[in-house]
Chain A
Amino acid sequence: MRVMVLIKANEQSEAGEMPSEKLLTEMTAFNEELVKAGMMLAGEGLHPSSKGARVVFSGSDRKVIDGPFSETKELLAGYWVWQVKDMDEAIEWVKRIPDADPGQEAVVEIRPVFEAEDFGEELTPELREREQRMREQIEANQ
């Protein structure tokens, strides 16, 4: 299975402060471990929300709001995509992530990525076929 590991923002990341040399060294070593274990598929750090934007959907209206955004704890600072056997393995790896700021509480969220099998019985062959036809139509219209 695949999981997305979401690193939440903190005041430093939102202020655009680069990590210390020590943390960078630890992170590089940790990323090397992930690569060596053959489970690292992708991962990136994100610029602070001041460089981002939001598009708010409201009826037919589309309103654009430029960053920064206030609710720091809800914001993301980076992500990984890992291939793991199950959630337990993902949790075990997350525990090994170097602590950016040991004095401060931080949260890392793990979310399994949907796979075709997850739809199980809900996605009947007929539904699959419909989905396929829909995709074909979309392609044909492009």
Chain B
Amino acid sequence: MAAADPKRAIEAVWRIESARLIAGLARLVRDVGIAEELAQEALVAALEQWPESGVPDNPGAWLMATGKHRAVDRLRRADVHERKTHELGRELELTGQVENRDLEAEIDDPFDDDLLRLVFTTCHPVLSTDARVALTLRLLGGLTTREIARAYLVSESTVAQRVVRAKRTLTAAQVPFEVPEHDELGERVASVLEVIYLIFNEGYAATAGDDWIRPELIEEALRLGRVLAELLPSEAEVHGLVALMELQASRTRARTGPRGERILLLDQDRSRWDWLLVGRGLVALERAKRSGGALGPYTLQAAIAACHARARVAADTDWEGIVALYDALAQIMPSPVVELNRAVAIGMAFGPEAGLDLVDSIRSEPALSGYHLLAVVRGDLLEKLGRKDEARTEFQRAASLTQNSGERAALLERMAACSPRNGA
């Protein structure tokens, strides 16, 4: 076979190096937008030179050095410009600033801190959720505008606009390129975790399109989570989120039936779970627990997922353990959806009657109106209690509420199974 195409090799280098490159340059120029431009300039230089000269031994260092030369050029030009346009006092102040900044020394700082600064910047609360997601995928994930557009089923220009606006917002709000102070850290970490979990969920249960699983977003979110776990090893919830994502992702293959319908956890063929990811998830959960303190919402959800993962067959599930974890989760993250899940666990641990009591107490919650899983859960509990007529009504209701055609077919089958002819 012929040697690999140099352009493809350069693109692969770019994917591996771009986040660290942009992060390192952003510390220098204090602006992620300009940093990305400089990084792109370095990439263009590589595309011009490497096909002739060959890929250098340390391509990352080459790109960084090239980007930094351009950055220094820009800073000097800006400095000259400032001198011409500002009055004397301001001019002296600026000159002092640039001269006092030892550019070479700054260049040698370790990369990891820069990457962490970049993470906190692309996930800054000043940005809208969409903007945070787009900027994170682009600057940290190294995804192109086209790839992001394809994953989210929006046009490339929409994504491009989001990215441009996000960069402008960061500049206008003068968001500093730094790791937040201790008192602010918890809140800012939560913002980062939210973005990563949003990306994961868009992959795991896509809100648009025919395929309701997007493997590339699942993989990207997992990768970002794992990177963050190494950057912030003492943050328990980072490991909690990684554990939750690894455990959920482990079930991807078993979640879809032959007609594209969703297969619920207890009906899944567990031999199809990805046991490599299960193992990784359990390890990450242990790391989260070892980090100390009360368990946060991601860690609790991961612990629940782990109860399922540890059961080789569904009948072995530790439902009482799961109920206890949902009790804890409902304390710190009260929501009707958590209550609904708690009801399922209670139904499994203490019988369908107990589960139904809880479901009926939350039935009128406005947040659950039109939520097809409420009808599915209620139908399931009623069916177990032998109240087939009521169960049938719930399955019918659920079928009319779901957006997924495969799932609708499966629900209509359950409905038919509850009809009197099928020997109630």
A residues near B (Cβ < 8 Å) are 35-39, 41-42, 81, 83, 85-86, 88-89, 91-93, 115-117, 125-126, 128-129, 132, 135-136, 139
Contacts and interface: CB of A to CB of B under 8 A. Distances in A.
17 contacts: A35-B226, A35-B230, A36-B112, A37-B223, A37-B227, A38-B226, A38-B230, A39-B223, A39-B226, A41-B280, A86-B12, A92-B12, A126-B258, A132-B257, A132-B269, A135-B271, A135-B272
B271 to A, nearest CB: 6
B230 A91 contact: no
Given A89-B15, A135-B269, A135-B271, 19 more contacts: A36-B227, A38-B224, A38-B226, A38-B227, A41-B276, A81-B276, A83-B219, A83-B223, A86-B12, A88-B8, A88-B9, A88-B12, A91-B12, A92-B13, A116-B253, A117-B215, A125-B260, A135-B272, A136-B269
A38 B269 contact: no
Contacts of A41: 276, 280
Contact of B16 (A42, A81, A93, A126): A93
A132 B13 CA distance: 40
Contacts of B12: 86, 88-89, 91-92
Nearest to B230: A36
A134 to B, nearest CB: 11
B4 A91 contact: yes
A66 B112 CA distance: 48
Interface string B266-298: 000101100010001000000000000000000
Interface centre among B112, B219, B259 (most CB of A within 10 A): B219
Contacts of B280: 41
Contacts of A86: 12
Contacts, number: 61
Interface of B: 4, 8-9, 11-13, 15-16, 112, 215, 219, 222-227, 230-231, 253, 257-260, 269, 271-272, 276, 280
A38 B258 contact: no
A36 B260 CA distance: 35
B276 A128 contact: no
Contacts of A93: 16
A29 B253 CA distance: 34
B276 A42 contact: yes
Contacts of B253: 116
A89 B4 contact: no
A133 B36 CA distance: 51
Contacts of A135: 269, 271-272
A81 B276 CA distance: 10
Given A38-B224, A91-B4, A117-B215, A128 B258 contact: yes
A35 B231 CA distance: 11
A39 B224 CA distance: 10
B259 A125 contact: yes
Point out which of B13, B223, B257, B258 has the most chain A C-beta atoms below 10 A from its C-beta.
B258
B22 to A, nearest CB: 15
Instruction: Identify the interface centre among A38, A116, A125: most chain B CB within 10 Å of its CB.
Output: A38
Nearest to B258: A129
Nearest to B8: A88
Closest CB pairs A-B (n = 3): A38-B226, A38-B223, A88-B12
A81 B275 CA distance: 13
Given A42-B276, A88-B12, A92-B13, A125 B258 contact: yes
A75 B11 CA distance: 32
Contacts of A129: 258
A45 B225 CA distance: 26
Nearest to B224: A38
Given A38-B222, A88-B9, A139 B269 contact: yes
A135 B225 CA distance: 33
A28 to B, nearest CB: 14
A93 B13 CA distance: 9
Nearest to B143: A85
Contacts of B258: 125-126, 128-129, 132
A53 to B, nearest CB: 24
Contacts of A38: 222-227, 230
Nearest to B223: A38
Contacts of B215: 115, 117
A68 to B, nearest CB: 29
Contact of A89 (B16, B222, B227): B16
A76 B179 CA distance: 44
A42 B283 CA distance: 13
A88 B223 contact: no
A139 B271 contact: yes
A88 B55 CA distance: 14
A47 B95 CA distance: 63
B9 A92 contact: yes
A121 to B, nearest CB: 14
